[in-house]
Structure 1
Amino acid sequence: MMSEKILEVKDLVVDLDLDLGDGRTRPVLSNVSLSVSDSEVLGIIGESGSGKTVLSRALVNWVSHPLRVSNGSILYRGQDLLTLPPARMQALRGRKIAYIGSDPGSALDPTLPIGRQIVEKLRSVEPGISTRDAAARVVQVLDAVRIPSARERFYEFPFQFSGGMMQRVMIVDALVTNPDLLVADNITQPLDVTVAAQILRLLQDLQRDFKTAILFVSSSLGVINEIAHNVLVLANGRVVENQSVGQLLSTPQHNYTKHLIADIPRIWKGGPDTAAPAPAAAAPEMEPILSVRDVDRFYATKDREKLFGKQIVQAVRGVSFDVYKGDNLGIVGESGCGKSTLSRLLSCLEAPDSGQILFKGQDIANMKAKELLTLRRGFQLLLQDPYNSIPPHLTIGRTIAEPLLIHGVPRREVHDRVTATMHEVGLSVELYDKLPVGLSAGQRQRVSIARALVLDPELLILDETLSALDQVEQSKLLALFDRLQAQRGITYIYISHDLGMVRRACNRVAVMYLGRVVELANNERTFFDPGHPYTRALLSAVPAIEDRPYKAETYLLEGEPPNPINIPPGCSFRTRCPFAFDRCATDDPRLRVRGLDDLAACHLQEINVPAE
């Protein structure tokens, strides 16, 4: 039986109005053609600026000024969406064509329970359905996407959901009307690897059960390899290649595709030498540049079941490690594991409740403000969001100069130091007096890097700094970090959910789970012989274009970690561990040495039983 074409795009052109008053435009998409059949998953891949998001929005007829469709057709079951009246298009978009974006946090009203919002959407596209029947269907789909206690969570608000759960809610919102076509625009990029793997597996199940055609947009070819049947490659708004995923990976035809594949970090292929050369190991007598000693950070929150009750969120629990000069330490784990809280502690944005954080032997946690200001020149924090981390109303030169001005550097020296740093990070000096509007995500991140480097720090803390960037731009910035390390001797702490990037950049890796470091090992040991089942679960979920040694069937986690307010006794990972035994329910394992410089907190290691 032949598949029916759900969507067919012919010679689509989308232009950007340059607003110069003379009618001039610039093409964003040029003569794009594609088709999607029922039950097919078509992947769309390309680097930032290739036109992926514009295409995804054009397919649901959501293009607005300054963009406009100037040519072509978008046929849904033979109807040209571009010529439909707005009312008919709106009915189709809500009922038969669904769209999910990459930012679930801004897609729902924060003042209404999620169930009520989805019920309202369902009743707007199906006016004949009763509120009771609509609620029953929403609960059914919430359960289908494996949201635990779906009936209870129906009444909860968006802020009570994690990023992964919110993305599942958006899938429910999209699929509750049983659409023919789902357009998913980069929906896994902001998620950690285990949640992203769960979302991909969920979409595959739903696509099979609901016979939904999916157009899956991503900047990661590893993700496309996990879910898509065929893939379309976009470069500068043009389709340069369109074939099956297997053929694309084995025999890419276009040079752009070949470069795209070459930029993907390899994790296991080629063995331990796949990773970048690691810095030399620290000598036993060397003092660490940063030492974290038994650090705790707890937060008090309101107990909603008691009028004046309080609950304690155990965000970071007894974390200890050392970082030596020239180190590249990766800190990895799922959302909610405590990575971002730890980054705020390491950068002294917050103080720990107990323990010490020593920078070059000085305890920054209990330092007075004036002393801390002086010491801050030595360590800097780089954040994730390239759009909100630099002020839109300041010129680029003024933004980079801000730390110098705060630290009292004479103004006559500021311009030369800023321009030298801009040149060092690959920013044109012509941008000095310009506002950041119009800069790409990669350029904005370079502005943030220059702002951090201008004080000549010894330690950079990178909190998901590269996660918002495509793999091509990531590769460029990692090469920049390598060069800066060679020239300046900078030490890096990479806090990330991107294990491919960590494999490429870090010589040591700390794995966090529920506020605690459960494994600390060198790069090779982490990726080829991890000592904790949780580390293997993370590795089983990595989107890759190579075979993974740790199979999802054995290791992939379902659900989310336990609530950090009510951490279970014994091993905190046991409720999700496929190898837990009786002792795990009562004894809390501590980090134990399993090699020269490798530690793991697992009872299986203590009794010399491999976790496999």
Structure 2
Amino acid sequence: MRVESLSVVLDSAAGSRPILSDVSFDVAPRSVLGIIGESGSGKTVLSNALINWIHKPLRLTSGRVLYQGRDLLALPEQAMANLRGREIAYIGANPTIALDPTIPVGHQIVEKLKEVEPGISEADARKRVIDTLDAVRIPSAVRRFDEYPFQFSGGMMQRAMIVDALVSNPKLLIADNITQPLDVTVAAQIIRLLRDLQSAFETSIVFISSSLGVVTDTADDVIVINAGRIVERQPAARLTAAPEHAYTRELIAKVPRLWAEAETPEPSPGNDIVLEVRDVERTYVVRDRTRLFGENRVRAVRGVSFDVRRGESFGLIGESGCGKSTLSRLLSSIEQPDKGSIKVEGRDIAGLKGTPLLEMRRRFQLLLQDPYNAIPAHASIGRTIEEPLRIHGLARGTALKQRVRDVMTEVGLSPDLYDNLPVGLSAGQRQRINIARALILEPSLMILDETLSALDQVEQARLLALFETLQKRHGITYLYISHDLAMVRRVCARIGVMYLGRIVELADNHTIFENPAHPYTRTLLSSVLTVEPKPFLPETYLMEGEPPDPIHIPAGCTFRTRCPFASARCATEDPHLVATAEGNGAACHLEPGHLPPSSLLPAPAGRTAACLET
């Protein structure tokens, strides 16, 4: 593919604004070209232009996109439709909206394959799809073929979209920010998978991302785009070692560091407990489609206990499917636990209903991940933010409107937006509306469930600074539930690590990131895609595949099926988290000294890297 002088503008009532300006580059055969830039730099518009998917209010003003000598932008729609999905494949950042929720995943991909290759038989199409599901390492591909999208985790959904893209053996794959919503272990597996498949299928890949660590770990060459213009192109290794443009150097400087120059947050000075969680469990009963009237029990949360002190930032990390979001629904009283207690400021909320629950909801607020679906599109910004005050009867008339405008100013929104609809606002601005809606009730606890994961690192840094300011000003306590380890490293003084519904390690920030006691914690750290050296090497710790099925949890240690250091004891005896005098602890039979030492630190004298419990 060759892109020549591509320019796109956005038409609005205020006039035309350039989105892409004179963009030119080549994509070599059997190569991976990375495109990096901040949110709003024009990356997604560029990815859409490469498949001739520019619609109003966007307008192409100049340029060509040449694919094997043909200008895609000049092709009739039917001719372009014959290329999309056949020779040119596209994967977006949100796999959950790409498939029909009423049709099994494998059947949808077969339908696409038969459309691309009309002569292929049903049996051959099914076999090719299952083989490709195997190739992307989806476990039990034959069984998963007949499962619905809601039965797939986020990581498996993204792999299914890779299958959907690659099943027709395309010559060019455009991947637009596909690792942004994924946790670190799945993202690392997807990156390795793309490289393997790119070699096996001899497919060229245009890999677009807002994460510099992801792009440099994936691409052969990298293009840096700023405000719709290409400012630099270099080989991936040289880009981080010797950036030439000031904007590239600024991007590299903004990449969060987990170890080099990392600041460790100070723990809360007091012992006042805002959130107390004790032995919380949640099990779902779901239908077993293999048996008439059969049922399965999904153990989503298993015996979780921890405390969060007033004024601190506490983090919960773990892979997709580990139970973090289920736990957030329990902590915010959207669902009730089957067992255990959840106390907010000393009051057990697990059994509250009606008016007592409504009154307690003023004390804790939940902020969700998706900044678009969390806000009603038909309501004005001011009406959305003032709704909690109306529900609780806390203000009305002029006082209500003034309170809303004050909160908008506090979170960085112009009060002039009061009567505007949220259409046209960026993800960061929409998330500020969510923050304002929660803050207006003056809560003591905010539960942030992947609240910043949809934002690029620059906008994320701005909101983190806002959270810190609000914490100092109002004494708010934060519970960060996230797969973004760099963000957790920066803001959380204490951290719990979840695996398969259970907390397997609980420790202070320094211990978690510098000398964790559980192999799973080290696995998470080895998976981080970053521009700095990592103390825990992927070749030692990186896992494959998905966690065990929560319906069929293995005996003994639940991590042993993926642990590189599992012993015979791990197969029979379930380890429990036992805290030390410092409050740290790990649910593991191995002593911390029996794990391989950090690659950034010298090994203790007399100890080898393979010294395991016997």
TM-score (norm 2): 0.94
1:278 corresponds to which letter in structure 2?
A: E
2:428 corresponds to which letter in structure 1?
A: G
Q: Residue 278 of structure 1 is aligned with which of 254, 263, 266? A: 266
Q: Deviations 1:510-557 (Å, cap 9, x if unpaired)? A: 000011000001111000101101101111111111111111111111
Q: Deviations 1:317-349 (Å, cap 9, x if unpaired)? A: 111011101211110001111100111111111
Q: Residue 5 of structure 2 is aligned with which of 8, 11, 28? A: 11
Q: Does 1:88 align with 2:88?
A: no
Query: Partners in 1 of 2:140 and 2:441 — Cα distance?
Result: 50
Q: Does 1:567 align with 2:558?
A: no
1:524 corresponds to which letter in structure 2?
A: H
Q: Residue 266 of structure 1 is aligned with which of 220, 240, 257? A: 257
Query: Partners in 2 of 1:330 and 1:173 — Cα distance?
Result: 35
Contact 1:594 1:605 in 2 (8 A): no
C-alpha displacement of 1:33? 0.8
- Compared CA separation, residues 243 and 595, structure 1 to 2 (3 A): farther
Contact 2:139 2:546 in 1 (8 A): no
Partner SS for 1:476:
helix
Query: Partners in 1 of 2:328 and 2:143 — Cα distance?
Result: 33
Q: What CA RMSD, in Å, does the superposition of the two structures yield over aligned residues?
A: 1.6
Query: Partners in 2 of 1:410 and 1:479 — Cα distance?
Result: 29
C-alpha displacement of 1:276? 4.7
Counting only pairs closer than 5 Å after superposition, residues 455-534 of structure 1 correspond to structure 2 as 455-534=441-520
- Compared CA separation, residues 194 and 396, structure 1 to 2 (3 A): same
Q: Does 1:32 align with 2:23?
A: yes
Q: Deviations 1:125-160 (Å, cap 9, x if unpaired)? A: 222333322222222211111122223322332222
- Compared CA separation, residues 149 and 280, structure 1 to 2 (3 A): closer
Q: Does 1:253 align with 2:239?
A: no
Query: Partners in 2 of 1:94 and 1:346 — Cα distance?
Result: 43
Query: Partners in 1 of 2:12 and 2:401 — Cα distance?
Result: 32
Corresponding residue for residue 596 of structure 1:
582
Query: Partners in 1 of 2:569 and 2:155 — Cα distance?
Result: 31
With 122-131 and 406-415 compared, the bigger mean Cα shift is at 122-131
1:460 corresponds to which letter in structure 2?
A: M
Unpaired stretches in structure 2, ≥5 consecutive residues: 597-608, 610-614
Query: Partners in 2 of 1:39 and 1:220 — Cα distance?
Result: 23
Query: Partners in 1 of 2:277 and 2:577 — Cα distance?
Result: 15
Partner SS for 2:191:
helix
| Matched positions, count | 596
Partner SS for 1:94:
coil
Counting only pairs closer than 5 Å after superposition, residues 170-569 of structure 1 correspond to structure 2 as 170-270=161-261, 274-282=262-270, 286-411=271-396, 412-569=398-555
Partner SS for 2:591:
helix
Query: Partners in 2 of 1:573 and 1:281 — Cα distance?
Result: 34
Corresponding residue for residue 4 of structure 1:
none
Query: Partners in 2 of 1:331 and 1:598 — Cα distance?
Result: 14
- Compared CA separation, residues 149 and 444, structure 1 to 2 (3 A): same
Corresponding residue for residue 130 of structure 1:
121
Q: Percentage identity across aligned positions?
A: 62
- Compared CA separation, residues 368 and 144, structure 1 to 2 (3 A): closer
Query: Partners in 1 of 2:9 and 2:248 — Cα distance?
Result: 24
Query: Partners in 1 of 2:324 and 2:143 — Cα distance?
Result: 29
TM-score (norm 1): 0.95
2:571 corresponds to which letter in structure 1?
A: A
Q: Residue 148 of structure 1 is aligned with which of 136, 139, 145? A: 139
Partner SS for 1:256:
helix
C-alpha displacement of 1:249? 1.5
Unpaired stretches in structure 1, ≥5 consecutive residues: 1-6
1:165 corresponds to which letter in structure 2?
A: M
With 418-427 and 301-310 compared, the bigger mean Cα shift is at 301-310
With 558-567 and 90-99 compared, the bigger mean Cα shift is at 90-99
C-alpha displacement of 1:116? 2.5
1:277 corresponds to which letter in structure 2?
A: P
Q: Residue 605 of structure 1 is aligned with which of 583, 591, 594? A: 591
Contact 2:268 2:309 in 1 (8 A): no
Q: Residue 104 of structure 2 is aligned with which of 100, 113, 119? A: 113
- Compared CA separation, residues 348 and 519, structure 1 to 2 (3 A): same
Query: Partners in 2 of 1:152 and 1:304 — Cα distance?
Result: 12
Corresponding residue for residue 3 of structure 1:
none
Query: Partners in 2 of 1:126 and 1:353 — Cα distance?
Result: 50
Counting only pairs closer than 5 Å after superposition, residues 36-75 of structure 1 correspond to structure 2 as 36-75=27-66
Q: Deviation above 3 Å: which 4+ runs of structure 1?
A: 279-282
Q: Deviations 1:170-227 (Å, cap 9, x if unpaired)? A: 1111111211110001111111111111111000101112221110011111111210
Query: Partners in 2 of 1:110 and 1:351 — Cα distance?
Result: 27
Q: Deviations 1:6-34 (Å, cap 9, x if unpaired)? A: x11010011223267xxx43221111111
1:322 corresponds to which letter in structure 2?
A: D
Query: Partners in 1 of 2:125 and 2:333 — Cα distance?
Result: 49
Query: Partners in 2 of 1:108 and 1:351 — Cα distance?
Result: 31
C-alpha displacement of 1:367? 2.4
2:565 corresponds to which letter in structure 1?
A: F
Query: Partners in 1 of 2:140 and 2:196 — Cα distance?
Result: 20
Contact 1:279 1:326 in 2 (8 A): no
C-alpha displacement of 1:595? 5.7
1:461 corresponds to which letter in structure 2?
A: I
C-alpha displacement of 1:256? 2.5
2:227 corresponds to which letter in structure 1?
A: N
Query: Partners in 2 of 1:390 and 1:154 — Cα distance?
Result: 35
Partner SS for 2:594:
coil
Contact 1:594 1:600 in 2 (8 A): no
